[in-house]
Structure formats: structure tokens, C-alpha cells
Structure 1
């Protein structure tokens, strides 16, 4: 093992609601989506996205949000211009298809989950996060000859939620997960950072853009989903299996 340390980021965003009390029949899953990339590759991703923002809005202080883009709301009303919309999608798809990163996503089928574990069981957000962290470690295992540091970056959700997640995270680091020991988590100096939406983190925005098509795929795998087809090659594969998309239970 050389002394070179390589830094990795895991940007995490969600699609759907992680509550179990009410079930939305049209969107019955909760999905956490992680985008794993090295620090140097992230520099390229960030610059590419800033360049798109500059081209279409003349500034980089625009927050790409999947729902607003789909509905052409807020700053994205410019996408009612179909020519502009086509150009925008062409450029954002290029970033999704050509940038260097891996997708690690975890979907909880809420109806099945409630049937198996009841409504009062563990937080599905924490469960999905544990799955993603495990797979991130397996993915980093493939990088040989360097020590690795992994920082998870998550958008702030609220003081209470963030505190609960921070506590869950500390327990994970202390105990490990079902498949990854605490030592392996400590080896990569795993840390978690909460960022405010206003901080305009392009990695979180890309994770948000990727999350929705994956959630739609989980809900209706047979339905045409061109956005999913574009990002599918980025889902982490192991021994030919799509290991970066865990659907539970």
C-alpha cells in the first residue's frame, strides 16, 4: 500500500417520501441515489455543470432540480422554448453519459416493506443509506494500491432529521453494517457532511437528476424510460450483475 491517499465523494439525494404512514399509489417507493466519484473527476463534473448553467442562465447560481426541470418551473420556464429545451437536455445528457462516476442506489418498496416489517419499524432512509455505504466500500475495494478517503455529502433536511441521521451514521461507524466491518469503514476515514441547498453543490444536483429516472424504473421496469437507459451503464456492476441498485425487500 503506497502513501498516496485518494479522496472520493459520495453525493446522495432522494426521490419519493421516506415516511411509511401514507402511501402514494402512483409513487410507492423511496429511493436514495448515490453518485460516487473521485475528487479529480468531480472537478470536471462541477465545471461541466457550471458551464451549462452559464450557457442557459448567464450565471452558475441556478440550482438544477429534477422536478422543476420536468415541470418547466421557476428558472426552468425557459425550457418552454423547445429548441432551448432540446439543447439543454443534450448537454445535461452528455454530462450524465460521459462523466466519470458510479451510481449506487437503494430503493425501498414501501408496500412490501410495511407488509413485512410494519409501519413502525426502522427508518427506511437509514436502511437505504446503509445499503449504499456497503456498496460504496465494495466499489472502492476495486481501486488498488492507494489508501482511500470517503466523504458522504447529503443535503440538509432539517435539524431533527439531520441529528437522527448523524447518530445513525456514528452507530454505523462504530458497529459496521451486515457486510462491512467497522474497521473497513474507519479505514476509508468515512465522514458525513450536511450541505444546505443554497450552497449550490453540483454533485448533489446531479444525484437528484439521476434519482428520479431510477425510481421510475423501479416502479415500472417495463415502461419506456429513455432517461434511465442513458444512465444505466453508470450503475455499479459486479460480476456482470447490477450491484449498484438494491431493491428492498
Structure 2
């Protein structure tokens, strides 16, 4: 019997003022990806009924610009000046998460408080590695309990033809996969985690667009900032992996979204 296959879509977040860094996103069964794509396209068409279907489907959702109704990112974002359209967006995204049985994973670090504790300077490079180790531990646990294998899909940080940032991150990923973690030996990780792939924002990938909303909401929570009036934080909290085959339960702050400070 073939094992189920999953994809974990991840994006990064930074808050330079609070000196915090994080990585977070959503896992979905590969069999559900086509349905997820269709649902997101239907939502876009519903949000932009005056556009041709193809034009609406080609709009890329980016949470920080949606919050600001930033028409410099996309002129069609003017619709998000209306509260009702933001509510329609978040309701639609929450429905996609529910109907596709998605699971939230992530890790965030306060570099300043951690540095004070250990008398050490922590930069974003170290933060990325620490976050990925936490996520890979928990993703591996999830895959083992679901008798599945899975890969990581990360939003590319490359700037034009310069993919140095992606190559550095890929190196960090394979360093963990090669040497293992305090929780799993390398061979145990390699049995369930297939590899990592980088996809650019402009490629209009549905999984990465949904993942974009995860670090934004949890970073606000981590930094003690209130959520925007229109948000999907409650939905995302319920989707956090909590160990075994569960979501949204007591151990979500360990297995799903953990904060290091």
C-alpha cells in the first residue's frame, strides 16, 4: 500500500523593531492540492466579479498588502478598503483550510531576549536554522503518525537571477536532514521528509498564498500586537498540529506553533 504524501508550504516573517524572526505555514495532503487550487480560484473570482475569470485567478494574495489595501502591489487591492471584502476573503480562506484538512506548523524566535539569556548574538541565519529544526521535528512527527511522507515547499527569497538566499537556506535544510536533530536521527528524518523546493511568489502558487497568512497572524500574536479587526487568527489557532493525529489541542504550542524567547 502506497503511503500518503503531504506538502508543507512555508513562508518567513521578520519584525525588525521587535527583533523577532519566524517561519510558518500549512501542510496539505497532495491529493487535496487540486481541490485547494480550485477553491482559491473560485474565491478570487467571487472577490473580483468585474474581472475576466483568468485575470481574477492571476491575482496573487499577499497578506501585508491586503491589510493596507496597497494598490502599489496590485491595483485591484482597492477592494480591500471595504471591510466586507476583507471578511469575505478571510471567511473564504478559512473554508479552504477546513475543507482541505490543513495543518499549521511554525516556529518564531525573539532574537533579542534569547541573546540576553545566553550572552550571545543571534542573527537571522541562526534563527532560520533553529526554526527549521523545530518545524522538521514536528513535521516528521506528524508524518510518522499519519504513515506518510512529505516535502517542504518554501517561498523563494531569490532576487531576480540571484538565488543565493535560497541556496543558503537549502544548505541549512540539508544540514539538518544529514545530521539529524536532538529528537530524530538523520535516517529517521530521511524516511519521511523527501526534500525541499523553492517557488517564487510570482508563480501564483495557491499553497504559498495560503501559507502567507500564517506567519503574519502568529507574528502579531508573538509580538503582543493586537490582530487586525478582520483576521483569521482563531481559525489558524485551531489548525495547529498538537501531536499524534490531533490539531488545536493542548500541545499545539509545542508541536504546532512554538515561540522561543
Quick check: TM above 0.5? yes
Correspondence for 1:78: 79
Task: Report the RMSD for the aligned CA atoms in angstroms.
Answer: 2.2
Stretches of structure 2 that go unaligned for 5 or more consecutive residues are: 244-248
1:157 corresponds to 2:167: no
Candidates 32, 35, 42, aligned match of 2:33: 42
In 2, the alpha carbon distance for the partners of 1:162 and 1:224 equals: 30
TM-score for the superposition, normalised by structure 2: 0.82
Alignment of 1:161-172 (within 5 A): 161-172=165-176
In 1, the alpha carbon distance for the partners of 2:13 and 2:217 equals: 9
Stretches of structure 1 that go unaligned for 5 or more consecutive residues are: 18-22
Candidates 53, 58, 61, aligned match of 2:58: 61
Correspondence for 1:31: 22
In 1, the alpha carbon distance for the partners of 2:25 and 2:91 equals: 23
Alignment of 1:1-249 (within 5 A): 3-17=1-15, 23-25=16-18, 28-57=19-48, 58=53, 59-73=56-70, 74=74, 75-115=76-116, 116=118, 118-119=120-121, 123-144=126-147, 148-158=148-158, 159-220=163-224, 223=226, 227-238=232-243, 240-242=250-252, 243-249=255-261
In 2, the alpha carbon distance for the partners of 1:236 and 1:89 equals: 21
Of stretches 75-84 and 180-189 in structure 1, the one that deviates more from structure 2 is: 75-84
Poorly superposed stretches of 4+, deviation over 4 Å? 223-226
CA offset at residue 117 of structure 1?
5.2
The 3-state SS of whatever aligns with 1:31 is: strand
In 2, the alpha carbon distance for the partners of 1:189 and 1:87 equals: 35
Cα 1:217–1:189 shift into 2, 3 Å = closer
Of stretches 184-193 and 7-16 in structure 1, the one that deviates more from structure 2 is: 184-193
Correspondence for 1:20: none
Number of residues of Structure 1 aligned to a counterpart in Structure 2: 236
Residue by residue, what CA displacement relative to the aligned partner does 1:169-198 show, whole Å, maximum 9, x if unpaired? Answer: 222221111211111122125210011111
The 3-state SS of whatever aligns with 1:190 is: strand
Cα 1:241–1:86 shift into 2, 3 Å = closer
| Cα contact 1:9–1:153 (8 A) shared by 2 | yes
| Cα contact 1:15–1:208 (8 A) shared by 2 | no
